Structure 1
Amino acid sequence: MFIAATAWGTGGAVAAMLYDVSGLGPIAVTFWRFAGAVALLALVALFVRRSHTIPQPAPKDRWRRIAITGTGLAISQATYFASIEFAGLAIGTVVAIGLSPILIAVGAHIFLGERLGRLGLLTTSAALAGLALLVVGGTVNPAPAPLLGLACAVISALGYAAATLANRHSTSTGPAGGYGSAVTSTLQGFAVGMVCLLPPALMEGIWPPTGDMGHTVALMAFLAAVPTALAYLLFFAALSVVRAATASVIALMEPVSATVLAALLLQEHLTVAALAGAAVLLGAVAVLIVGERRAAARRPVAAPEPMLR
């Protein structure tokens, strides 16, 4: 989960560089990101199928989950990249991911029957306080359209929450498939998302109009491999052993890594308040992990749970 969150944090920085290098818009960048991830995950799926028998949920539940996951990912990533373009990498990432724990916690309570508990409420509150400091502190650089960027970030959080809850529901109620099921779920979700993104990407302009094609392809390859295929594969696999609300708070490490990259690579310099927010956020994540491990040690041992290998 930590690797996934850290890898996600690189995606926004690469997308911001792609805007300058290629001239592509956020929807086209998201489409190529999904297309590359589908190609990579298809190769992984071929290897996994030769080594494992992958149980599947009932057809009705499986296709519903795939549709929600793919649509949620498409909306989440396209609007996330748009928020970066309009509000900047640090603020766009912080708001998009910062709203997710609230939406996921409410959704998990309503649809999955999960409870945050006292520790979960405290750590989530601390994490959101850190995010508030990041937003208030922000960067010293002016953004081109901050309000539009914030609106895109809110929509991104909604899509992310829907995809997370759909996959958590599948691992909670369906057969456990471990790593193999995670590969299949991630591949199918990105395939649906790619199809959803194709029409608007064609309207926006799907081919790079300017820039160095070699540089563009290299950035696209990294974007598809690390913060997309690898990160989401690890995240969805971890959902089989981590509660949805817990996963959402751990994933808040993404805005920390994105904010640091924004300062180092894009000259979006952080304020003192933003640095304090990052420290509070990391502390909340550390407390949550310790509490989750202690709670897991107190639970009675039942049937074996799928583990990420």
Structure 2
Amino acid sequence: MNGALLILLAGILWGTTGTTQAFAPESAHPIAIGAARLAVGGLFLMGIVLATGKLTFTHWQVKPTIIASLSMACYQPLFFTAVTRTGVAIGTVVAIGSAPILSGVIEWLVFKKRPGPIWWCSTILSISGCLLLFMNNEAVYVDPMGVLMSLGAGLSFAIYTLVSRELVENHPALSVVAVVFTLSAICLSPFLFIYDMSWMASLQGIGVSLHLGIMATGIAYLLFARGLLRVSSSTAVTLALAEPLTAALLGVFIVGEYLSAVSWMGVMLLMLGIGILVWSSKDADAGRVEHVSKV
């Protein structure tokens, strides 16, 4: 399957997170949900890789693995705390909107890969769409520390993407996500003892935990890792903006939320920006196949 489509599917699965959390028991704290999500996802991935016998630590890259694990572990509390301090709209826009830009800048400065005009066009359209999507008529409170934490969350995801691409180029994608998310879950395990986790014992809590851990984490990040083999890190992070798009549409059609005309305009811009990247990646894949056939 086309790498861009794999990442697009991952973004769609991530987009179900907000809707799923809306069905979580009231006693479930957002940070506790994030910790449970990584714990279930890590166990699920590690269980699969052990069952298939594909886990091997031969010539394993330790430093990138630690960086990727810490980045994913940092993302959860940074994002949820940012949303708590400065609101869902500002926290989400800054975190998700800054990730593609930070990824492109890091890729440019560190790996000397300058993003092309198609990426810039798609990213600007997608981020503009994200801004419009979360724009509403309510008063917006901008908390400086909350914004800083949102930027930290965006940077964490950008670093995770860049480092993971290096890992999946040298190791099986399943092994990479299994190891990274198991280590991330261990890093966040103290939160399982700090917050009340009794909500996980209910049927509702079990359902929410399994969906977030297996679908929105395990399978989603496995698709994302495999997609990274075929597209650049900066392109992958921009395609991941399918997450807020999916979340908004699910909020309307399942939760019964309302989107203004401006928000619907944001939806259209997001779809246009993502569509440009998917289309360009198909052309790139076709070009590679044609080149190989000629050789």
Q: Same fold (TM over 0.5)?
A: yes
Sequence identity (%): 26
Secondary structure of the corresponding residue to residue 24 of structure 1: coil
Task: Determine whether 1:2 maps to 2:3.
Answer: no
Change (3 A) 1:263 1:78: farther
Change (3 A) 1:200 1:47: closer
Query: Per-residue CA shift, 1:230-271, capped at 9, x if unaligned?
Result: 101110111111111111111111110112233445554322
Partner of 2:3: none
Query: Per-residue CA shift, 1:119-141, capped at 9, x if unaligned?
Result: 11221122222122224x24x56
Secondary structure of the corresponding residue to residue 301 of structure 1: helix
Matches within 5 A, 1:66-77: 66-77=65-76
Partner of 1:305: none
Partner of 1:197: 188
The answer to whether the Cα contact below 8 Å between 2:99 and 2:155 also exists between their aligned partners in 1 is yes
The answer to whether the Cα contact below 8 Å between 1:68 and 1:163 also exists between their aligned partners in 2 is yes
Change (3 A) 1:296 1:229: same
TM-score with structure 1 setting the length: 0.81
TM-score with structure 2 setting the length: 0.85
Q: What is the letter of the counterpart of residue 121 of structure 1? A: W
Partner of 1:36: 40
Structure-1 separation of matches of 2:162 and 2:287 = 25
Query: Per-residue CA shift, 1:171-218, capped at 9, x if unaligned?
Result: 4xx53x4xxx11111111111111111224423x1423x698221111
Matches within 5 A, 1:1-309: 1-18=7-24, 21-49=25-53, 58-59=59-60, 62-85=61-84, 92-135=91-134, 137-138=135-136, 147=143, 150-171=147-168, 174-175=169-170, 177=171, 181-203=172-194, 205-208=195-198, 213-266=202-255, 268-299=257-288, 300-301=291-292
Gaps of 5+ in 1: 303-309
Structure-2 separation of matches of 1:187 and 1:146 = 37
Change (3 A) 1:57 1:279: farther
Deviation of 1:66 (Å): 1.5
The answer to whether the Cα contact below 8 Å between 1:57 and 1:170 also exists between their aligned partners in 2 is no
Q: What is the letter of the counterpart of residue 252 of structure 1? A: L
Q: What is the letter of the counterpart of residue 45 of structure 2? A: L
The answer to whether the Cα contact below 8 Å between 1:90 and 1:262 also exists between their aligned partners in 2 is no
Instruction: Return 254-263 or 86-95, whichever deviates more.
Output: 86-95
Partner of 1:306: none
Partner of 2:4: none
The answer to whether the Cα contact below 8 Å between 1:90 and 1:268 also exists between their aligned partners in 2 is no
Instruction: Return 284-293 or 234-243, whichever deviates more.
Output: 284-293
Backbone CA RMSD of aligned residues: 2.7
Structure-1 separation of matches of 2:233 and 2:40 = 27
Structure-2 separation of matches of 1:193 and 1:212 = 23
